[in-house]
Amino acid sequence: MVETSAEAAGHNTFVIGGELPVNRFGYSTSRLTGRGTWGNPPRPDEAVKLLRRAVELGVNFFDTAAGYGPGVAERLIRRALSPYQSDLVIATKAGMLRPGPTVWVRDGRPGALRSDVESSLANLNVERLDLLQLHRVDPKVPLADQVGTLKELQREGKVRFIGLSDVTVGQLQDALQIANVATVRNRFSLADRSGWRVLDFASQRNMGFIAKSPLASGVLADQRTALARAGRIHGLPPAQLALAWALRRSPAVIPTPAPTTIEHLEQNAGAITVRLTDDELRALHATVL
């Protein structure tokens, strides 16, 4: 069933931290840089147009990171969207060193986290980050030091809400003993069950769940898959069907696909108006998994 945009808006809002309402269809800037998430994209002007079109389509939640570029994606957001609309929410991440293309090194030392935050504030041209996520837990640094630093930055007024990325339920439980955690970001899609237990834990606590790679790195957009055949039955492109499923799975889910063309962005955004029935939801489980 396809709803009107107004009907869909009523079903698809999540309030981060009880204060920041966002439309439950976000945008990941992870693919807006050069190859290997490094350097500038080949056509920066096209990236700017893409970001602006996302806002026109109702996207008001953008997921980025200090490590994307590094700094490139954040600066593209600033160029495209500043001065920011009052309802725009930008989530960024700290805690990754970038020595080169495709190379990611966890660095959860308090000084490194603070350095990333200062860079993000400057790149985005804001005085406070809406949502700061620990990019990955660094096993070499006590979790209390990592989450504690985010809490200190929050107390200093540089961060509004704290989130975690790529964590287990156990890590999330430990973090909650240190600070209030508003969101968690993990891999989540029809093709990847690894984040489902974390989603259930987060949903029970009214935490937002940012769905990382909701199209399984493009696998669920492939026209040759079983999902594509199911999509033809529903009259929907497979990517749109996969995103509609993610939205239906839990009211806490905020899918953040990373389309690099306006055509794919517009197609993906159409998922917000699709309402799957319980029977359709069960059929998708059976078809894909």
Please state, in angstroms and as integers, the Cα–Cα distance from residue 54 to each residue in 9, 25, 35, 69, 99, following that order.
Answer: 15, 10, 22, 20, 31
CA–chain centroid gap for 212, Å, is 6
> 159: which DSSP letter?
E
Instruction: Report the half-sphere exposure of 246 (CA within 13 A, side-chain side).
Output: 36
Directed axis angle between helix 169-176 and helix 196-204, to 10°?
30
Strand partners, 227: none
> What average pLDDT does this structure show over 99-109?
97
Q: What is the reported pTM?
A: 0.92
Ranges 42-56, 133-147, 220-234, 271-285: which has the least confidence: 220-234
Please state, in angstroms and as integers, the Cα–Cα distance from residue 264 to each residue in 32, 50, 161, 236, following that order.
Answer: 14, 10, 30, 13
Sequence-separated (6 or more) residues with CB below 8 Å from residue 185: 63, 91, 133, 163, 164, 165, 166, 209, 210, 211, 212, 256
Residue predicted with more confidence, 4 or 219: 219
Ranges 52-56, 125-129, 130-134, 225-229: which has the least confidence: 225-229
Which domains does the chain carry? 5-288 (3.20.20.100)
Q: Which residue has the tokens 């894909």?
A: 288
- Tokens at 147, concatenated: 């989450």
**Tens-place pLDDT, residues 49-102:** 999 999 999 999 999 999 999 999 999 999 999 999 999 999 999 999 999 999
Please state, rounded to an integer, the average pLDDT across all residues of the chain. Answer: 90
Q: How confident is the model at residue 234 (pLDDT cuts 50, 70, 90)?
A: low
- Tokens at 169, concatenated: 């339920």
Cα dihedral 139, 91, 271, 278 sign: positive
Give the whole-angstrom CA distance, residue 178 versus residue 268: 37
Directed axis angle between helix 238-249 and helix 226-234, to 10°?
90
CA–chain centroid gap for 125, Å, is 20
Give the whole-angstrom CA distance, residue 89 versus residue 125: 14
Structure confidence at residue 59 (pLDDT):
97
Strand, helix or coil for residue 261: coil
What is the DSSP annotation of 75-134? Answer: HHHHHHHPSPPTT-EEEEEE-EE-SSTT--EE---HHHHHHHHHHHHHHHT-SSEEEEEE
Structure confidence at residue 6 (pLDDT):
38
Task: Assess contact for 200 and 194: CB atoms under 8 A.
Answer: no
Measured in degrees and rounded to the nearest 5, phi and psi for residue 275 equal: -120, 110
pLDDT above 50 for 189: yes
Strand partners, 212: 187, 256
Structure confidence at residue 3 (pLDDT):
45
- Whether residue 255 has a cis bond before it, omega within 30° of 0: no
Task: Assess contact for 248 and 275: CB atoms under 8 A.
Answer: yes
Q: How confident is the model at residue 35 (pLDDT cuts 50, 70, 90)?
A: very high
Measured in degrees and rounded to the nearest 5, phi and psi for residue 66 equal: -60, -30
Give the whole-angstrom CA distance, residue 215 versus residue 218: 5
